[in-house]
């Protein structure tokens, strides 16, 4: 079977590319359904983009690489596409946009766009081998138990990273890159809960299920969002965000309350409520279980009247700079994305084509471009898929 474009992966980036590649395009995926990550995202409502997308919201060894694709296919372009398909949406916190109804609306829209562009979609299809001869790619597939050979002028790798292996993630894109001599940066789980061990975990366990607003900092980055205590450590948006900056051995700084205001308040309350337990007074600002733990973390006990200015300052220091060192993360099992990937130095920023292998494109999560939590990674999928697809279509027209 001969096609113009073969796209490996029927996820967000792959379907977007298929919608714009034109000509005879074939999309293949080993899953039973297209867009599985779209389906589960946002609690089934798909956080499909963010109002505040910019290159500053992405991690990459080359922070400028994503600017071209993001600047040429923006969040407003995707909203226009949603509007043309009459898909209602709403904004939640921090510019995050979700479907009103179901994430399946986004998948159906992308499938319709791809098929309208002439693309075929083969599901439950395995990749058995890839070679390149005389400027064309030869891919051995297995479909319905039968071997199928497909040749294509353009090959687009949109198979994602290593995150959520239960949904079929394998890191195939990195092996394909290495097969064609492209470098791959270090990869690690990102947007992932962090875990703790030893005595610290035992102190945190009673707080499991508790959620608070907190600013979490590490390695020069800081995020103020929800923080969730779990049976194994910490999760919630602030932790998922900071996990992209955390490395083994690094301590987190957790700011649970403001410093000067709290210190002044505690000093004033010492005069009026001195007979109350320190943890009881602090529970006016924090959940009671957390307040009790923070008093212990500061090495204090007793009533508010018993605390010196030095003791109250130590408590406020703990509340504004609680140092916690994770032992690890929940790993790819629960990571929303993979940090790192195909080295952007090997790719053209406008077309996502490999500089040394004409016709070979890498898009989406497999590239060393990783967004913040909140719809940014889907926007990279749309933008990079569009950039590769339109570049392929333009090359075909020029030929």
Which residue from 109, 126, 129, 122 is spatially nearest to 25, judged by alpha carbons? Answer: 122
Q: What percent of the chain has pLDDT over 70?
A: 99
Binning pLDDT at 50, 70 and 90, where does residue 259 land? Answer: low
In whole angstroms, what separates CA 331 from the centre of its chain? 13
Q: Is 231 helix (H, G, I), strand (E, B) or coil?
A: coil
Q: Look at phi and psi of residue 203 and say left if phi exceeds 0, alpha if psi is from -120 to 50, else beta.
A: alpha
Q: What is the pLDDT of residue 171?
A: 94
Task: Answer whether residue 170 shows pLDDT above 80.
Answer: yes
Which residue from 12, 195, 213, 203 is spatially nearest to 94, judged by alpha carbons? Answer: 213
Which residue from 158, 162, 213, 113 is spatially nearest to 8, judged by alpha carbons? Answer: 158
Residue holding tokens 């060393």? Answer: 368
DSSP 236: S
Task: Answer whether residue 233 shows pLDDT above 80.
Answer: yes
Give the integer Cα–Cα distance in Å for 91 and 76: 14
Q: What percent of the chain has pLDDT over 90?
A: 95
Q: How many residues does the chain have?
A: 399
Q: What is the mean pLDDT of residues 147-153?
A: 98
Task: Answer whether residue 30 shows pLDDT above 80.
Answer: yes
Give the integer Cα–Cα distance in Å for 7 and 381: 14
Task: Answer whether residue 260 shows pLDDT above 80.
Answer: no
This prediction's pTM = 0.96
Cα dihedral angle (112, 113, 117, 123), rounded to 10 degrees? Answer: -60
Task: Answer whether residue 258 shows pLDDT above 90.
Answer: no
Q: What is the pLDDT of residue 168?
A: 87
184-209 pLDDT per residue, tens:
999 999 999 999 999 999 999 999 99
Q: What is the pLDDT of residue 27?
A: 98
Task: Answer whether residue 324 shows pLDDT above 90.
Answer: yes
Q: Which residue has the higher pLDDT, 168 or 394?
A: 394
The helix (run of H) or strand (run of E) holding residue 211 is strand 211-218
Give the integer Cα–Cα distance in Å for 85 and 354: 33
Binning pLDDT at 50, 70 and 90, where does residue 21 land? Answer: very high
Give the integer Cα–Cα distance in Å for 210 and 207: 6
Contact 272, 303 (CB under 8 A): no
Q: What is the mean pLDDT of residues 36-50?
A: 96
Contact 294, 282 (CB under 8 A): yes
Structure tokens at 155: 């090959």
Q: Is 4 helix (H, G, I), strand (E, B) or coil?
A: strand
- 358: Cα within 13 Å, side-chain hemisphere: 6
Q: What is the mean pLDDT of residues 381-398?
A: 95
């Amino acid at each position: 079977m001969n096609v113009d474009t073969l796209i490996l992966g029927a996820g967000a980036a792959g379907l977007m590319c298929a919608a714009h590649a034109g000509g005879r395009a074939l999309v293949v995926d080993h899953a039973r359904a297209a867009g599985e990550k779209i389906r589960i995202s946002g609690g089934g409502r798909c956080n499909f983009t963010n109002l505040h997308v910019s290159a500053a919201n992405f991690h990459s060894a080359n922070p400028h690489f994503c600017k071209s694709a993001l600047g040429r296919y923006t969040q407003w372009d995707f909203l226009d596409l949603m509007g043309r398909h009459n898909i209602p949406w709403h904004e939640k916190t921090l510019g995050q946009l979700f479907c009103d109804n179901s994430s399946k609306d986004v998948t159906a829209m992308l499938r319709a766009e791809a098929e309208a562009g002439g693309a075929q979609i083969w599901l439950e299809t395995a990749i058995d081998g890839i070679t390149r001869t005389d400027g064309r790619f030869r891919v051995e597939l297995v479909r319905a138990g039968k071997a199928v050979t497909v040749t294509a002028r353009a090959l687009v790798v949109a198979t994602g990273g290593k995150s959520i292996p239960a949904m079929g993630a394998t890191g195939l894109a990195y092996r394909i890159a290495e097969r064609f001599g492209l470098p791959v940066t270090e990869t690690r789980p990102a947007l992932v809960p962090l875990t703790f061990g030893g005595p610290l975990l035992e102190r945190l366990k009673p707080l499991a299920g508790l959620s608070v607003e907190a600013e979490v900092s590490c390695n020069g980055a800081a995020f103020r969002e929800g923080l969730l205590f779990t049976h194994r450590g910490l999760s919630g948006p602030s932790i998922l965000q900071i996990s992209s900056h955390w490395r083994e051995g690094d301590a987190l700084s957790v700011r649970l309350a403001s410093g000067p205001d709290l210190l002044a308040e505690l000093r004033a309350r010492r005069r009026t409520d001195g007979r109350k337990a320190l943890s009881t007074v602090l529970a006016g600002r924090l959940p009671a279980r957390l307040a009790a733990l923070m008093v212990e973390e500061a090495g204090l006990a007793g009533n508010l009247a018993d605390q010196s200015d030095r003791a109250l300052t130590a408590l406020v220091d703990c509340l504004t700079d609680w140092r916690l060192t994770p032992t690890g993360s929940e790993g790819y099992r629960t990571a929303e994305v993979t940090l790192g990937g195909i080295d952007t130095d090997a790719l053209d920023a406008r077309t996502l084509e490999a500089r040394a292998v004409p016709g070979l494109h890498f898009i989406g999560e497999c590239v060393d471009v990783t967004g913040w939590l909140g719809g940014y990674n889907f926007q990279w999928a749309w933008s990079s898929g569009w950039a590769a697809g339109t570049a392929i279509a333009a090359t075909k027209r020029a030929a």
